[in-house]
Chains A and B, each alone.
Chain A
Amino acid sequence: MKETRFNIDENRIKRRIMLNNRVRDLFSVVIVLVMAILLVLLYRIGKDSIGWLDLQFLTSNLSIFPEKAGIKGAIIGSLYMMLVVIPITLILGVATAIYLEEYANDGKVQRFIKINISNLASVPSVIFGLLGLTFFSRMLNLGSSILAGGLTMSLLVLPIVVVAAQEALKAVPSFLREASYGMGADKWTTIWRVILPVALPGILTGAILAMSRAIGETAPLVALGIPTLLMRIPNSLMDNFTVLPIQIYYWTLDSVLTREYTFLAAATIVVLLVTLFILNSIAIVIRNKFQKTF
């Protein structure tokens, strides 16, 4: 009897271990496949953009001749839009986070705002486009100006900044707060002089991530009716504009008519991806270098 107790079916164990290893290998193959797809994507975009992406491409206006076309207008448009998005989301986002973390006292208002923000974060971006179209473009008569686009985009990325700022504020240790109060500082002084400086790296990281989302987002701007062809470079917030993703959109759509537009779209994608990569790298550096740990 004792023998049978330890006489475990070795074949069965072998089978179980083999199954374990097989499935593990299968899963790793799946991961390799995903990475391969990413590589194919980057390779194709890189290959298509070769010969098209040069200084002339970055500094020229749009043109009906693909060889002469450039994305100067789109680059300036994207920069202009950021001029609207950055201050608005920073002020609104940080203020909302300060209210939720520092002033609200776990009441219904706070819970309501929190639920609202998490739901807002999951509203499809094209719906924000409809809001912008109705409210900013038509009701406030901003048309498809930089201001209308920037305001729409600000509302879209607001939840990202709020959540990041909340996390950053939460991470500030309470002894700093207590020390500040202990020295007679009032609440606002404590927030402004003690808490915000400590939370700043986290807030900036969130702001940069929100920025990169805003730079790459297309749907809400298309919904605002950004014109297909833009001949003039914008020079005020009330001008019409185009941005990098919109340019990619139209060139991809029109590649049926003109084959070269595919290459122009690919070159624009490279510019967009490099921009996003730089922004994200900056965010990572800020996170790693300036984040204080207590």
Chain B
Amino acid sequence: MKNNEIRDLIQHNIKNKSHFSDKAMPLFFLTMALISVLTTFGIVYTLVVDAFKFFANVPLSEVFSTRLQPLSANPSFGILPLLNGTILTTIIAMIVAVPVGMAAAIYLSQFASKKLRKMLKPILEILAGIPTIVYGFFAYSVVTPILMTLIPSLEPKNVLSPGLVMGIMIIPMVASLSEDAMNAVPSIMKDGATGLGSTKLETTFKVVIPAAISGIMSSIVLAISRAIGETMIVTIASGSSKRFTFDITQSMQTMTSYIVEFTSGDAGSGTVGYYSLYAVGLILFIFTLTMNLIAQYITKKYGERY
């Protein structure tokens, strides 16, 4: 009875075998898969075409100046204030995220008991899942007022607060990527060090971290890329003054918040101001792409397999 059913099924399958689906389906799936490639080309194309129109209109000496006044009667498009704002917020974020993220990663992978780890991991995941707009609210409505009581000269919009909050946002990313790297170090190596009388701390710093350094480095590079591309926190809490200064208590604009200001604002299509958007977007894209390629290169070149 059972055998008969199976035989029928096989017969049925063979009879119904359509050569059409064997030829059409791969083509269909390839087309679908190529849409993601098309997206990348779309991004590069839109950025390059309009950025080119910008660079055709604005001399390079102006681009690399510190004067950014896109809406004034005598507009100037210096990118340095934006680069400066981006780099400063990124540095502040990294000062928070790298040590804290590493400490969390080391604690989770080397010191914490299995039970504690099972409890702490989901908390990191919660932190990682909070939308950036919520962090933006946090920076502007909670952290800045607290900081203002500590630093009276702090402006309501400043670079310090979004930088710190961005760091908090990136902690889970650094922690979980570095932890993965440290967990991938084979326990034979750790056991060897412990057998020679090392404490856990010594094992961690002299064996585990050197062995996992490529993963740790690439997690940091990815975190930098994330900080450079982060938009909502800086848009809300850092404001839009296009100053070129190194004073982190002041308001500055990043590349990302410049894009937000000008797309949601009323820069008419076809003006130099409108094209400047794409120039900034292109530079931002090149920055983050380079960072990701570096991260991939580090893992590929220095990643040791055990």
- Asked if residues A31 and B107 are in contact (CB atoms below 8 Å), the reply is yes
In the complex, how many residue pairs between chain A and chain B have their CB atoms under 8 Å apart?
254
Among all A-B residue pairs, the 8 with the closest Cβ atoms: A124-B229, A216-B131, A95-B32, A99-B29, A184-B13, A20-B199, A219-B231, A27-B107
Give which listed residue, A19, A120, A269, contacts B199 with CB less than 8 A. A19
Per-residue CB contact flags for chain B residues 1-44 toward chain A (1 = under 8 Å, else 0) read 00000100111011001100110011011101111110110110
Per-residue CB contact flags for chain A residues 16-51 toward chain B (1 = under 8 Å, else 0) read 110110011011101101110110110011001000
A103 at the interface (CB under 8 A from B): yes
Look across to chain B and name the residue whose beta carbon is closest to the beta carbon of A184.
Answer: B13
- Asked if residues B133 and A218 are in contact (CB atoms below 8 Å), the reply is yes
A286 at the interface (CB under 8 A from B): no
B127 at the interface (CB under 8 A from A): yes
Per-residue CB contact flags for chain A residues 140-168 toward chain B (1 = under 8 Å, else 0) read 00000000000000010011001000000
- Asked if residues B202 and A16 are in contact (CB atoms below 8 Å), the reply is yes
Instruction: Report B-chain residues with C-beta under 8 Å of the C-beta of A26.
Output: 103
A103 CB, nearest partner CB in chain B, Å: 5
Which of A28, A103, A124, A280 has the largest count of B CB atoms less than 10 A from its CB?
A: A124
- Asked if residues A130 and B278 are in contact (CB atoms below 8 Å), the reply is yes
- The answer to whether A126 and B107 touch (CB under 8 A), given A119-B289, A249-B232, is no
B60 at the interface (CB under 8 A from A): no
Look across to chain A and name the residue whose beta carbon is closest to the beta carbon of B37.
Answer: A116
> Which residues on B are within 8 Å of A, measured CB to CB?
6, 9-11, 13-14, 17-18, 21-22, 25-26, 28-30, 32-37, 39-40, 42-43, 46-47, 50, 100, 103-104, 106-108, 111, 120, 123, 126-127, 129-134, 136-138, 140-142, 156, 168, 171, 199-202, 222, 225-226, 228-232, 235-236, 256, 259-260, 263-264, 269, 277-278, 281, 284-285, 288-289, 291-293, 296
- Asked if residues A103 and B26 are in contact (CB atoms below 8 Å), the reply is yes
- Asked if residues A223 and B14 are in contact (CB atoms below 8 Å), the reply is no
Look across to chain B and name the residue whose beta carbon is closest to the beta carbon of A110.
Answer: B33
> In the complex, A38→B22 CA distance in Å?
52
